């Protein structure tokens, strides 16, 4: 059954436009509280990134949960994977993340984690939606939920991240530039990397509520590339606003994307006998990664786009490693969700163990030219039913044959149609992608 409010990654949109409004968040907090109150006594964690609207929505959610008789623990600014970790280790009923991830400050959203640190099931999301559309009530005063701050949240998560690499490995020889995107990792990531021994230069760690992801971080790694060259660093690490994406930069200033990082981690785990099952990518994963993995005897499985679907395929295939080109990398042998800091540590560990630079490690994979263009829309469309678009796609696919791919899909988090073309020749890729964008604009 189709969900009314939840998308592929929680509930997201522009602040002040339904459903991203204070009154909806109050009702959402209450609905969530009612669902988890039915499962017995316990508390719910609330964490957020650094965008200014987080304060408003934190208060509204806490009030709604209190009205339902559920206690809350406020984490303050925390990376999404940190909230997943704390939900699991503190045995909370659920974890609520107030974040729009890589989006700009004027967007916000809500994501949930269950007691095991994984995304909520569709069944629970449907149950919450049912309560959202029901009249709101308040428990009697003696049963109202209480709120308190979890003051050691950052320290707990920092220690966890450090524990995902062997203490015997010395990172003292590495100089790293870390870009926190003025987001939720600003007070976490620099400590993690410096405490494992690296020399750290920090950028993007001065959040003001409005500058999250602004020309920095995993979605804009060009600034990081400049700083890596400027500081003569060994590499750079770019995280996004909520810390679940990772993009890196090698010592030459070349950007190393999620597909290349996934390849490096997969090869490292295979070498040490720790890789279980296949590697999971998505329909957007680069053909070059698929071919590079195949050369070393690793099969790539492709899920739909979205870390929820990567996770489902990992679990269904008893695999431990998956991710997306955008930098969502899930290491299930380390944690329960995509984690930019943890993934970066796995790459650093391989650099130190192999004695190779990041530039050398990525050279095992030849990335196919790939272009992703977005077409903004103001209404939902079913691409499968638009004949002119399907005809255009078929034309391009015929030209590419088995040496490229075309993918058109509606974004699950933004009002966009994403047009992706991949092939051996970059000029052809650009030409075909622009042709398809024009056809989508004509049809829509």
Q: Which residues are catalytic?
A: 101
DSSP run (H or E) holding 159: helix 153-163
Rounded-to-integer distance, Cα 67 and Cα 141, Å: 9
Sequence-distant (6+) residues with CB within 8 A of 439 are: 388, 389, 392
Sequence-distant (6+) residues with CB within 8 A of 391 are: none
Rounded-to-integer distance, Cα 421 and Cα 16, Å: 35
Sequence-distant (6+) residues with CB within 8 A of 276 are: 318, 319, 320, 333
Pair 373, 437: CB distance under 8 Å: yes
Rounded-to-integer distance, Cα 410 and Cα 430, Å: 20
Neighbouring CB atoms inside 10 A of 390's CB total: 15
- Pick from 193, 211, 203: which is nearest to 230 by CA? 203
Copy the structure tokens of residue 211: 């500058």
């Amino acid at each position: 059954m189709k969900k009314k409010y939840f998308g592929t990654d929680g509930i997201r949109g522009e602040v002040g436009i339904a459903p991203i409004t204070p009154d909806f968040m109050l009702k959402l907090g209450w609905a969530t509280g009612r669902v988890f109150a039915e499962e017995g006594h316990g508390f719910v964690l609330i964490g957020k990134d650094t965008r200014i609207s987080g304060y408003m929505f934190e208060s509204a959610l806490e009030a709604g949960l209190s009205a339902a008789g559920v206690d809350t623990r406020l984490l303050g600014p925390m990376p999404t994977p940190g909230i997943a970790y704390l939900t699991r280790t503190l045995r909370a009923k659920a974890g609520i993340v107030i974040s729009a991830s890589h989006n700009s400050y004027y967007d916000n959203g809500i994501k949930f984690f269950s007691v095991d640190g994984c995304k909520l099931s569709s069944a629970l999301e449907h149950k919450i939606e049912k309560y959202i559309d029901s009249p709101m009530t308040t428990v009697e005063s003696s049963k109202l939920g209480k709120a308190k701050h979890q003051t050691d949240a950052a320290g707990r998560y920092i220690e966890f991240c450090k524990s995902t690499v062997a203490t015997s490995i010395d990172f003292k020889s590495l100089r790293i530039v870390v870009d926190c995107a003025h987001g939720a990792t600003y007070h976490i990531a620099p400590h993690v990397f410096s405490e494992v021994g690296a020399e750290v230069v920090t950028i993007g760690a001065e959040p003001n509520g409005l500058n999250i992801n602004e020309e920095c971080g995993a979605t804009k790694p060009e600034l990081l590339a400049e700083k890596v060259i400027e500081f003569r660093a060994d590499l750079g690490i770019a995280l996004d606003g909520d810390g679940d994406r990772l993009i890196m930069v090698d010592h030459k200033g070349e950007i190393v994307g999620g597909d290349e990082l996934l390849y490096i981690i997969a090869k490292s785990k295979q070498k040490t006998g720790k890789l279980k099952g296949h590697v999971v990518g998505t329909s957007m994963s680069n053909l070059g990664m698929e071919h590079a993995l195949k050369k070393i005897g690793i099969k790539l499985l492709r899920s739909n786009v979205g870390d929820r679907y990567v996770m489902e395929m990992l679990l269904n295939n008893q695999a431990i490693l998956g991710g997306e080109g955008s930098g969502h990398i899930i290491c299930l042998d380390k944690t329960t969700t995509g984690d930019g800091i943890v993934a970066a540590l796995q790459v650093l560990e391989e650099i130190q163990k192999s004695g190779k630079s990041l530039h050398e490690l990525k050279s095992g994979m030849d990335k196919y030219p790939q272009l992703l263009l977005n077409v903004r829309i103001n209404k939902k469309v079913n691409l499968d039913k638009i004949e002119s678009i399907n005809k255009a796609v078929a034309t391009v696919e015929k030209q590419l044959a088995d040496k490229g791919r075309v993918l058109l899909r509606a974004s699950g988090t933004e009002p966009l149609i994403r047009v992706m073309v991949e092939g051996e020749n970059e000029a052809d890729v650009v030409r075909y992608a622009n042709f398809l964008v024009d056809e989508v604009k004509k049809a829509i």
